[in-house]
């Protein structure tokens, strides 16, 4: 499996940033792999190692109908010759992501949304007697995921005043913080929750780091909740691609960069500071809003067709 590591860092040139006296860079984890991209590879790397050490060869994981994590797990299992089962939240549906998961060998099981809340019980009921089955939580949330995300910082050859990342479970943020602490950097982490009521993320992140970790939550950029979006966010995705040729997704990275730009406008950062945002991948999620994007910008049709 060929991986583009370490992922490159590039500067984003924008008159708005120049006006405010800050420099903005992005770590292109979206370029690590076409299917196992962004923080998905970071998280799965040590999860797969742990499964191997426990002699478990059947991966069982969870996600929604357009889950990048399910697709990444399916691809990783396929590359490693492992059977894989995906527990999908909600009614039985078909789409490009799930079709690709199936093509890669993943068996799909759909469960209703209420039952899905109890993932460990589902795993026990379906695979409790399977000694080879290995539980992987939704999004890969785990100590191994945190360990993998530490490598984001370990790969950097320059230091930054602030690192910014999106957060759904907090694993990526926790890994970044752990690396900052180990290297004794003065870098501060700015976390953009992508879901409503993200207060719980503080505790989730500190579970893997420490209460004195240098980070802040900015909770005004969730656009209504997890995977929620509006025309403003769609327009932002389109405009950002036209300006910088970088694809953002509506679930994570568009909310992150929208928040970053707003914080810069609000003078949250000081002139002279250097900022790094983490592109955590997720571009396959754009297929879920293909019609709305191509209606607004027909040129996106070709771009989206090339994603898978």
> Of 60, 79, 68, which is closest to residue 30 (Cα–Cα)?
68
pLDDT digits (tens, 9 = 90+) for 17-39: 999 999 999 999 999 999 998 99
Provide the pLDDT confidence category of residue 174 given band limits of 50, 70 and 90: very high
> Of 128, 146, 155, which is closest to residue 60 (Cα–Cα)?
128
pLDDT digits (tens, 9 = 90+) for 144-166: 999 999 999 999 999 999 999 99
| Contact call for residues 68 and 281 (beta carbons, < 8 A) | yes
Provide the pLDDT confidence category of residue 210 given band limits of 50, 70 and 90: low
> Of 281, 290, 291, which is closest to residue 254 (Cα–Cα)?
281
Name the one residue in this structure whose structure tokens are 């697709």. Answer: 71
Query: Is the model's pLDDT at 2 over the cut of 90?
Result: no
| Contact call for residues 213 and 177 (beta carbons, < 8 A) | yes
Global pTM value: 0.95
Q: Name the helix (H) or strand (E) containing 136.
A: strand 133-136
pLDDT at 214: 82
pLDDT digits (tens, 9 = 90+) for 103-133: 999 999 999 999 999 999 999 999 999 999 9
pLDDT digits (tens, 9 = 90+) for 178-204: 999 999 999 999 999 999 999 999 988
Helices 171-182 and 143-154, packing angle to 10 deg: 50
pLDDT digits (tens, 9 = 90+) for 66-102: 999 999 999 999 999 999 999 999 999 999 999 999 9
> Of 84, 79, 76, 75, which is closest to residue 133 (Cα–Cα)?
84
With the C-alpha atoms ordered 187, 140, 122, 97, is the resulting torsion angle positive or negative? positive
pLDDT digits (tens, 9 = 90+) for 212-265: 668 999 999 999 999 999 999 999 999 999 999 999 999 999 999 999 999 999
Sheet holding 84-89, edge to edge: 106-111, 84-89, 58-63, 133-136
**What is the set of domains in the chain, with CATH numbers?**
9-35+143-305 (3.40.50.1100), 39-140 (3.40.50.1100)
In order, the DSSP letters of 245-284 are -----TTTHHHHHHHHHHHHHTT-SPTT-EEEEE----GG
Mean pLDDT, to the nearest integer, of 5-19?
97
Q: What are phi and psi of 166, to 5 degrees?
A: -80, 160
pLDDT at 1: 74
Query: Is the model's pLDDT at 274 over the cut of 70?
Result: yes
Strand partners of residue 192? 166
Query: Is the model's pLDDT at 211 over the cut of 80?
Result: no
User: Other C-beta atoms within 10 Å of 287: how many?
Assistant: 18
Token representation of residue 255? 């909310």
């Amino acid at each position: 499996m060929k991986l583009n590591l370490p992922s490159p860092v590039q500067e984003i040139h924008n008159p708005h940033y120049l006006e405010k006296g800050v420099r903005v860079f992005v770590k292109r984890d979206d370029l690590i792999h076409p299917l196992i991209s962004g923080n998905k590879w970071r998280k799965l790397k040590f999860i797969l190692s742990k499964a191997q050490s426990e002699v478990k060869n059947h991966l069982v994981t969870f996600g929604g109908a357009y889950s990048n994590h399910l697709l990444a797990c399916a691809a990783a299992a396929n590359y490693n010759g492992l059977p894989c089962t995906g527990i999908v939240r909600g009614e039985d549906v078909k789409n490009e992501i799930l079709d690709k998961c199936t093509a890669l060998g993943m068996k799909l099981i759909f469960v209703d949304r209420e039952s899905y809340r109890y993932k460990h019980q589902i795993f026990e009921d379906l695979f409790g007697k399977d000694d080879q089955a290995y539980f992987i939580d939704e999004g890969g949330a785990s100590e191994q995921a945190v360990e993998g995300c530490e490598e984001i910082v370990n790969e950097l050859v320059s230091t930054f005043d602030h690192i910014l990342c999106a957060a759904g479970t907090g694993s990526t943020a926790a890994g970044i913080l752990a690396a900052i602490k180990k290297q004794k950097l003065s870098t501060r982490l700015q976390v953009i929750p992508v879901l409503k009521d993200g207060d719980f993320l503080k505790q989730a992140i500190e579970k893997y780091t420490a209460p004195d970790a240098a980070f802040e939550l900015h909770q005004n950029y969730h656009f209504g909740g997890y995977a929620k979006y509006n025309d403003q966010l769609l327009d932002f995705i389109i405009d950002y691609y036209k300006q910088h040729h970088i694809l953002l997704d509506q679930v994570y990275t568009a909310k992150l960069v929208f928040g970053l730009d707003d914080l810069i406008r609000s003078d949250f950062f000081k002139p002279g500071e250097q900022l790094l945002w983490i592109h955590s991948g997720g571009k396959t999620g754009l297929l879920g809003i293909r019609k709305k994007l191509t209606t607004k910008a027909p040129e996106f049709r070709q771009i989206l067709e090339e994603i898978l």
